[in-house]
Amino acid sequence: MSEKPTSKDILIEAASRLFRIRGYYGVGLKEIIEESSIPKGSLYHYFPNGKEELAIEAINHAKDLVLREIKHVFDSNDDPVKALQDHVYELSKLFGENGDLVGLPIGTIAGETYSTSEPIRLACQDAFTQWQSIYVNEFLDAGYSRERSKELSFAINALIEGGILLSLTAKSAEPLQAISKLIPSLFMNK
Protein backbone atom coordinates (compact mmCIF):
# COMPACT_ATOMS: atom_id res chain seq x y z
CA MET A 1 0.00 0.00 0.00
CA SER A 2 1.55 3.30 -1.07
CA GLU A 3 1.51 6.31 1.18
CA LYS A 4 -0.65 9.29 0.35
CA PRO A 5 1.54 12.18 -0.83
CA THR A 6 1.89 15.06 1.61
CA SER A 7 1.07 18.66 0.73
CA LYS A 8 4.81 19.27 0.54
CA ASP A 9 5.25 16.39 -1.93
CA ILE A 10 2.40 17.69 -4.08
CA LEU A 11 3.94 21.18 -4.15
CA ILE A 12 7.34 19.78 -5.14
CA GLU A 13 5.85 17.60 -7.89
CA ALA A 14 3.81 20.50 -9.29
CA ALA A 15 6.79 22.85 -9.19
CA SER A 16 9.05 20.24 -10.80
CA ARG A 17 6.58 19.68 -13.64
CA LEU A 18 6.10 23.40 -14.26
CA PHE A 19 9.82 24.22 -14.09
CA ARG A 20 10.60 21.40 -16.57
CA ILE A 21 8.13 22.82 -19.05
CA ARG A 22 8.36 26.61 -18.55
CA GLY A 23 11.59 27.18 -16.64
CA TYR A 24 12.25 29.04 -13.42
CA TYR A 25 11.36 32.52 -14.64
CA GLY A 26 8.33 31.31 -16.57
CA VAL A 27 6.60 30.05 -13.43
CA GLY A 28 5.29 32.05 -10.52
CA LEU A 29 4.27 30.86 -7.10
CA LYS A 30 0.65 31.56 -8.01
CA GLU A 31 0.83 29.00 -10.84
CA ILE A 32 2.44 26.43 -8.55
CA ILE A 33 -0.32 26.94 -5.98
CA GLU A 34 -2.98 26.60 -8.71
CA GLU A 35 -1.33 23.51 -10.24
CA SER A 36 -0.97 21.80 -6.87
CA SER A 37 -4.31 22.91 -5.36
CA ILE A 38 -2.43 23.43 -2.10
CA PRO A 39 -3.20 26.55 -0.02
CA LYS A 40 -0.76 29.45 -0.23
CA GLY A 41 -0.09 29.23 3.51
CA SER A 42 1.13 25.66 3.12
CA LEU A 43 3.60 26.71 0.46
CA TYR A 44 5.16 29.26 2.80
CA HIS A 45 4.99 26.81 5.71
CA TYR A 46 7.08 24.24 3.82
CA PHE A 47 9.18 26.75 1.88
CA PRO A 48 9.59 29.86 4.04
CA ASN A 49 12.37 31.14 1.76
CA GLY A 50 10.04 31.06 -1.24
CA LYS A 51 10.50 30.11 -4.85
CA GLU A 52 14.26 29.48 -4.82
CA GLU A 53 13.95 27.01 -1.95
CA LEU A 54 11.06 25.25 -3.71
CA ALA A 55 13.05 25.16 -6.96
CA ILE A 56 15.94 23.40 -5.23
CA GLU A 57 13.54 20.77 -3.87
CA ALA A 58 12.01 20.40 -7.35
CA ILE A 59 15.49 19.89 -8.83
CA ASN A 60 16.24 17.25 -6.19
CA HIS A 61 12.93 15.57 -7.01
CA ALA A 62 13.77 15.45 -10.73
CA LYS A 63 17.30 14.26 -9.90
CA ASP A 64 15.93 11.36 -7.87
CA LEU A 65 13.46 10.35 -10.60
CA VAL A 66 16.24 10.27 -13.19
CA LEU A 67 18.61 8.43 -10.82
CA ARG A 68 16.01 5.70 -10.36
CA GLU A 69 15.49 5.46 -14.11
CA ILE A 70 19.23 5.26 -14.85
CA LYS A 71 19.70 2.57 -12.19
CA HIS A 72 16.75 0.63 -13.60
CA VAL A 73 18.20 0.83 -17.12
CA PHE A 74 21.50 -0.70 -16.04
CA ASP A 75 19.95 -3.22 -13.66
CA SER A 76 17.78 -4.62 -16.44
CA ASN A 77 20.58 -5.19 -18.97
CA ASP A 78 24.09 -6.63 -18.47
CA ASP A 79 25.50 -4.76 -21.48
CA PRO A 80 25.85 -1.04 -20.63
CA VAL A 81 25.93 -0.01 -24.29
CA LYS A 82 22.71 -1.87 -25.05
CA ALA A 83 21.16 -0.51 -21.85
CA LEU A 84 21.93 3.07 -22.90
CA GLN A 85 20.65 2.46 -26.42
CA ASP A 86 17.39 1.04 -25.12
CA HIS A 87 17.05 3.86 -22.59
CA VAL A 88 17.47 6.63 -25.17
CA TYR A 89 15.17 4.86 -27.61
CA GLU A 90 12.47 4.49 -24.92
CA LEU A 91 12.94 8.16 -24.04
CA SER A 92 12.38 9.07 -27.69
CA LYS A 93 8.86 7.63 -27.49
CA LEU A 94 7.86 10.56 -25.26
CA PHE A 95 8.24 12.94 -28.20
CA GLY A 96 6.41 13.48 -31.44
CA GLU A 97 2.74 13.89 -32.22
CA ASN A 98 1.47 11.68 -29.42
CA GLY A 99 4.28 12.36 -26.96
CA ASP A 100 4.00 13.92 -23.54
CA LEU A 101 6.31 16.91 -23.79
CA VAL A 102 7.50 17.08 -20.21
CA GLY A 103 10.59 19.17 -20.85
CA LEU A 104 14.14 18.76 -19.65
CA PRO A 105 14.54 17.21 -16.20
CA ILE A 106 16.63 20.19 -15.03
CA GLY A 107 18.18 21.62 -18.19
CA THR A 108 15.76 24.51 -18.54
CA ILE A 109 16.18 25.71 -14.98
CA ALA A 110 19.97 25.15 -15.13
CA GLY A 111 20.31 27.24 -18.28
CA GLU A 112 18.19 30.06 -16.90
CA THR A 113 19.65 30.39 -13.43
CA TYR A 114 23.33 29.39 -13.58
CA SER A 115 24.44 33.03 -13.30
CA THR A 116 21.64 34.36 -11.10
CA SER A 117 21.22 31.78 -8.32
CA GLU A 118 24.23 29.99 -6.91
CA PRO A 119 22.10 27.64 -4.75
CA ILE A 120 20.09 26.53 -7.82
CA ARG A 121 23.26 26.21 -9.92
CA LEU A 122 24.80 23.99 -7.23
CA ALA A 123 21.65 21.81 -7.05
CA CYS A 124 21.75 21.36 -10.84
CA GLN A 125 25.47 20.59 -10.77
CA ASP A 126 24.86 17.98 -8.06
CA ALA A 127 22.14 16.33 -10.16
CA PHE A 128 24.34 16.12 -13.26
CA THR A 129 27.26 14.84 -11.16
CA GLN A 130 25.17 12.09 -9.54
CA TRP A 131 23.74 10.97 -12.88
CA GLN A 132 27.20 10.87 -14.40
CA SER A 133 28.62 8.94 -11.44
CA ILE A 134 26.28 6.05 -12.21
CA TYR A 135 27.51 6.03 -15.81
CA VAL A 136 31.15 6.13 -14.66
CA ASN A 137 30.66 3.16 -12.34
CA GLU A 138 28.87 1.13 -15.00
CA PHE A 139 31.58 1.86 -17.58
CA LEU A 140 34.33 0.99 -15.08
CA ASP A 141 32.56 -2.32 -14.40
CA ALA A 142 32.47 -2.94 -18.16
CA GLY A 143 36.26 -2.57 -18.35
CA TYR A 144 36.72 1.02 -19.47
CA SER A 145 39.48 3.09 -17.88
CA ARG A 146 38.57 5.71 -15.28
CA GLU A 147 39.45 8.53 -17.70
CA ARG A 148 37.44 7.00 -20.56
CA SER A 149 34.50 6.26 -18.23
CA LYS A 150 34.42 9.90 -17.12
CA GLU A 151 34.61 11.16 -20.71
CA LEU A 152 31.81 8.81 -21.73
CA SER A 153 29.65 9.93 -18.79
CA PHE A 154 29.95 13.57 -19.90
CA ALA A 155 29.17 12.64 -23.50
CA ILE A 156 26.15 10.48 -22.63
CA ASN A 157 24.68 13.10 -20.31
CA ALA A 158 25.20 15.84 -22.92
CA LEU A 159 23.72 13.69 -25.69
CA ILE A 160 20.63 12.87 -23.65
CA GLU A 161 20.05 16.47 -22.48
CA GLY A 162 20.73 17.84 -25.97
CA GLY A 163 18.63 15.14 -27.60
CA ILE A 164 15.70 15.97 -25.36
CA LEU A 165 16.04 19.66 -26.25
CA LEU A 166 16.21 18.92 -29.97
CA SER A 167 13.24 16.53 -29.74
CA LEU A 168 11.23 19.13 -27.83
CA THR A 169 11.85 21.87 -30.36
CA ALA A 170 11.29 19.56 -33.34
CA LYS A 171 8.30 17.83 -31.70
CA SER A 172 9.91 14.69 -33.01
CA ALA A 173 11.52 11.54 -31.70
CA GLU A 174 14.07 11.60 -34.51
CA PRO A 175 16.96 13.34 -32.65
CA LEU A 176 16.85 10.90 -29.74
CA GLN A 177 16.46 7.92 -32.08
CA ALA A 178 19.56 9.06 -34.00
CA ILE A 179 21.48 9.34 -30.73
CA SER A 180 20.35 5.85 -29.75
CA LYS A 181 21.75 4.46 -33.02
CA LEU A 182 25.09 6.25 -32.52
CA ILE A 183 25.73 5.20 -28.92
CA PRO A 184 27.72 2.04 -29.83
CA SER A 185 30.21 4.13 -31.81
CA LEU A 186 31.17 5.98 -28.62
CA PHE A 187 32.22 2.72 -26.99
CA MET A 188 34.60 1.37 -29.62
CA ASN A 189 37.75 2.23 -27.65
CA LYS A 190 38.26 1.25 -24.03
Q: Which CATH number characterizes residue 106's domain?
A: 1.10.357.10
Using the predicted structure, report yes or no on whether residue 172 has a pLDDT greater than 80: yes
- Which residues form the domain of 39? 7-186
Residue 97 falls inside a structural domain: yes
How much is the pLDDT for 108?
86
Residue 177 falls inside a structural domain: yes
How much is the pLDDT for 21?
86
Query: Residue 23 CB: number of other CB atoms within 10 A?
Result: 18
How much is the pLDDT for 2?
63
Average pLDDT of span 152-170: 92
Share of the chain above pLDDT 90, in %: 74
Distances (CA, A) of 120 to 11, 29, 33, 35, 106: 17, 16, 20, 22, 10
Task: Identify whether the C-beta of residue 171 lies closer than 8 Å to the C-beta of residue 185.
Answer: no
Share of the chain above pLDDT 70, in %: 94
Structural domains in the chain (count): 1
Residue 1 falls inside a structural domain: no
How much is the pTM? Answer: 0.89
